[in-house]
């Protein structure tokens, strides 16, 4: 209960790598120096010092903390802390949180742990913190939760195909178990056309039609010279050994659901679509599915947070001394 009692009421975000810290006090000493300016807000050297002193509390209260390798692993440098503080001020400017909202969040924590305000203050004191530090870090946590809920979560969607792609391209790649590929194919043969250039033009037109939204199967039925044309180009599952070059080389580069460029072959041109991959180790995929999904989601959260911070920084005045 001791650790749980000062945690934020909202759940810890399971993923990413961005920023954090707290605002400068108006009582900084005369020798305090400006470390950075974010719009009209000032970050002092004392803020960096305060960050270092409260890092364990931040780890508990900041929903973005787990997305920062610099913060989670080892001791961050002052430059890393300052960058974290800059980005945190950008978040705070975009997602303001009133004192009343912070109070409500703290009261929820107190009720869930059956603590009075005095109990909470005493516990924080036993850990080397005070209530004001806790209050402000709770504010920061709420600001970041708002960023997650309003701007980031909706942009992170890890599909089953994403998981399967990762598994077969990263995990199963080192396995000796052969893979089978479910492929759809369009073949344009030179002998069907007046000359090779006419065949190439037909292949380019077919590829363009698919990229513009026409169903692969419909294009295959309309133009493919392969025997699979009547079934929309579906070849079923084929092992790597059953694929002739250069089709094999192209298919191995594809992600599940993706389309190849034009593939030149001795007899003409081909367009391939990879529908699925399977192997005898599918049970291993089932076992690792959620682990992979979480890992991919974490990386996507990092990416989306970076993009948000970059946009915010481009629209702000930031100077780091």
Render pLDDT for 276-292 as a digit per residue (tens, 0 to 9).
998 877 778 888 999 99
Residue showing tokens 């195909």: 161
**Run of H or E including 295:** helix 282-314
Render pLDDT for 164-206 as a digit per residue (tens, 0 to 9).
889 888 887 777 778 899 999 999 999 999 999 999 999 999 9
Could you tell me if 124 and 53 are in contact, meaning their C-beta atoms sit under 8 angstroms apart? Answer: no
Structure token pair of residue 318: 């930031």
Nearest Cα neighbor of 183 from 139, 138, 224 is 224
What integer pLDDT is reported at residue 130 of this predicted model?
Answer: 95
Could you tell me if 68 and 20 are in contact, meaning their C-beta atoms sit under 8 angstroms apart? Answer: yes
**Domains of the chain as residue ranges with CATH:** 4-157+295-320 (1.10.4030.10), 178-279 (3.10.50.40)
Residue 309: CB partners within 8 Å, gap ≥ 6? 18, 19, 87, 90
- pTM of the predicted protein model: 0.66
């Amino acid at each position: 209960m001791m650790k749980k009692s000062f945690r934020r009421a909202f759940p810890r975000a399971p993923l990413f790598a961005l920023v954090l810290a707290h605002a400068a006090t108006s009582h900084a000493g005369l020798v305090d120096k400006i470390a950075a300016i974010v719009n009209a807000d000032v970050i002092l050297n004392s803020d960096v010092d305060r960050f270092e002193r409260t890092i364990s509390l931040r780890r508990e209260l900041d929903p973005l903390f787990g997305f920062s390798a610099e913060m989670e692993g080892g001791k961050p440098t002052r430059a890393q802390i300052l960058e974290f503080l800059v980005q945190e001020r950008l978040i705070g400017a975009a997602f303001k949180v009133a004192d009343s909202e912070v109070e409500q969040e703290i009261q929820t924590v107190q009720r869930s742990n059956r603590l009075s305000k005095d109990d909470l203050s005493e516990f924080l004191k036993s850990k080397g913190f005070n209530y004001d530090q806790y209050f402000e870090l709770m504010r920061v946590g709420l600001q970041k939760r708002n960023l997650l809920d309003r701007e980031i979560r909706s942009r992170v969607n890890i599909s089953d195909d994403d998981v399967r792609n990762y598994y077969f391209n990263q995990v199963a790649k080192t396995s000796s178990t052969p893979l089978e590929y479910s492929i759809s194919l369009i073949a344009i043969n030179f002998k069907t056309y007046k000359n090779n250039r006419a065949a190439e033009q037909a292949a380019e037109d077919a590829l363009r039609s698919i990229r513009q939204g026409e169903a692969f199967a419909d294009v295959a039925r309309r133009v493919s010279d392969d025997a699979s044309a009547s079934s929309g180009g579906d070849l079923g599952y084929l092992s790597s050994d059953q694929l002739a070059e250069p089709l094999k080389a192209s298919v191995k580069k594809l992600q599940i659901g993706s389309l190849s460029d034009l593939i030149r072959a001795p007899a003409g041109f081909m367009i391939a679509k990879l529908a699925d991959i399977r192997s005898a180790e599918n049970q291993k995929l089932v076992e690792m599915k959620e682990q992979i999904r979480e890992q991919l989601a974490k990386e996507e959260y990092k990416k989306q947070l970076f993009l948000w911070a970059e946009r915010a920084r481009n629209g702000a005045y930031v100077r780091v001394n």
